[in-house]
């Protein structure tokens, strides 16, 4: 079975011509990951300190906290497809802005809009897929979407490095050619999705922020929300901590230790791709349980590993194990409240704020106990996911 099978075997109500434009939107969703690469170039161009440069990536998770729930309500008013189109428009504007300047204020505005656009996109695009895919195939399709998203994440540093090396003197863009290329793709995504007819379910009933947050009173929705927080916390935490573990225990310089992050993304992408097929054959509960067990084994390795091979093994296991957690948890949350998918989606995406909470806790823990302390914080998240697995429906 190949990727075409996944895209074509949706449901009788969908077709390949409907799924492909949606997958292009998942590619656009990955543009947010350019912030890590771009912030390094901005720091160099503007001579910023580390703390000043750190403002750019931190903005991404801040906007998830602010805009996720309101986006759920916006979908009730204008529909999921139109909300995705709004998010793509915001993303396109954010990518065009750097072509007209490179001051701190300009880049701050660009990254802020990029974060807002991505928060709106992640909240609306995932439930839009549920209009095209049957509930039993939703997790595998969302996982394939995450694989497509990861391709954009991989390409960002490659394109930026190419632009920086060639400098592109005719345009004077250098590494910022990355923004131009991704802006063009965003505009193409808007064009294709606009021309794609998608029959949506009747909008959820009108609701306010309080009504949305009240859904957290549902025990299973709350468990899913915390599961998303743990998933993202482990994801961001590994990216941050992996190089530090190598530097602390092996004494390697950052230039060599940073390859640990690339290794994580390689296995995370591979996990998304293979998970899209495995989830069609294996129940979500079994698959999530195996994924959590894989990550728990990785944490045990990282607690005391003192060789590069063992550390790389632990990082690879986390990358593969954590690759499908979002899709499983998100689909479980949507299917548990079929009449409130928009609000549920907003709450789940708000859980991405875990990418801010976990690193802060890990920072304090590492100051007190070294990088083993940071690993302990991530281990708590893994243990929660293992317990959550007991509530997952087959």
Q: Residue 85 has what pLDDT?
A: 96
Dihedrals φ, ψ of 200, to 5°?
-100, 155
In the numeric block, which tokens belong to residue 29? 């969703």
CA-nearest of 315, 363, 378 to 51 is 363
For the chain, how far is it from start to end, CA to CA, in angstroms? 22
Cβ-based neighbours of 199, under 8 Å, separated by 6 or more: 13, 131
How far is C-alpha 18 from the chain's CA centre? 23
CA angle 361, 364, 368 (to 5 degrees): 135
Q: Residue 204 has what pLDDT?
A: 53
CA angle 80, 288, 238 (to 5 degrees): 85
Neighbours of 389 (CB within 10 A): 20
CA-nearest of 381, 294, 285 to 332 is 285
Does the pTM of the predicted model rise above 0.75? no
Per-residue tens of pLDDT for the chain, all 394 residues: 455 454 444 444 456 677 889 999 999 998 877 776 677 678 778 887 756 766 777 777 788 888 888 888 888 888 889 999 999 999 999 999 988 877 888 988 998 999 899 999 988 898 888 888 777 777 778 878 888 888 887 777 778 778 877 755 545 677 888 899 999 999 999 999 999 888 877 655 555 677 777 888 889 999 999 999 999 889 878 877 888 899 889 988 765 776 787 788 789 888 988 887 888 888 889 999 999 999 999 999 999 888 999 999 999 999 999 988 988 998 899 888 877 877 888 888 888 888 778 877 887 888 888 889 989 999 999 999 999 999 887 6
Q: Residue 9 has what pLDDT?
A: 47
Q: Residue 258 has what pLDDT?
A: 66
Neighbours of 8 (CB within 10 A): 13
CA angle 68, 69, 75 (to 5 degrees): 90
């Amino acid at each position: 079975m190949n990727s075409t099978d996944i895209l074509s075997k949706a449901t009788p109500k969908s077709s390949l011509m409907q799924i492909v434009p949606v997958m292009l939107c998942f590619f656009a969703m990955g543009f947010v990951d350019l912030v890590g690469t771009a912030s390094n170039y901005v720091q160099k161009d503007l001579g910023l300190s580390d703390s000043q440069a750190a403002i750019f990536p931190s903005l991404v998770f801040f906007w998830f906290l602010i805009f996720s729930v309101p986006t759920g309500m916006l979908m009730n008013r204008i529909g999921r497809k139109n909300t995705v189109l709004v998010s793509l428009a915001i993303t396109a504007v954010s990518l065009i802005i750097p072509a007209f300047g490179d001051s701190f204020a300009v880049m701050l505005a660009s990254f802020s809009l990029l974060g807002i656009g991505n928060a709106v996109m992640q909240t609306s695009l995932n439930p839009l897929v549920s209009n095209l895919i049957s509930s039993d195939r939703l997790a595998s399709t969302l996982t394939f979407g995450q694989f497509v998203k990861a391709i954009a994440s991989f390409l960002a540093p490659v394109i930026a490095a190419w632009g920086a090396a060639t400098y592109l003197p005719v345009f004077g863009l250098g590494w910022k050619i990355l923004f131009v290329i991704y802006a063009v793709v965003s505009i193409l995504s808007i064009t294709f999705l606009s021309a794609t007819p998608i029959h949506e379910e009747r909008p959820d009933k009108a609701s306010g922020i309080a009504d949305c947050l009240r859904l957290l009173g549902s025990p299973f929705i709350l468990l899913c929300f915390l599961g998303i927080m743990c998933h993202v916390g482990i994801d961001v935490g590994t990216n941050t901590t992996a190089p530090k573990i190598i530097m602390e225990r092996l004494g390697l310089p950052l230039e060599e230790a940073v390859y640990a992050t690339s290794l994580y993304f390689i296995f995370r992408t591979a996990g998304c791709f293979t998970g899209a097929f495995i989830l069609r054959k294996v129940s979500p509960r079994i698959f999530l349980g195996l994924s959590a067990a894989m990550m728990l084994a990785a944490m045990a390795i990282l607690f005391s590993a003192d060789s590069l091979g063992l550390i790389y093994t632990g990082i690879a296991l986390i990358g593969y194990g954590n690759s499908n957690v979002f899709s499983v948890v998100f689909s479980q949350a949507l299917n548990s409240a079929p009449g409130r998918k928009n609000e549920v989606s907003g709450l789940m995406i708000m859980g991405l704020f875990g990418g801010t909470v976990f690193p802060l806790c890990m920072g304090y823990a590492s100051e007190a106990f070294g990088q083993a302390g940071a690993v302990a914080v991530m281990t708590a998240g893994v243990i929660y996911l293992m317990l959550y697995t007991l509530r997952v429906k087959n």
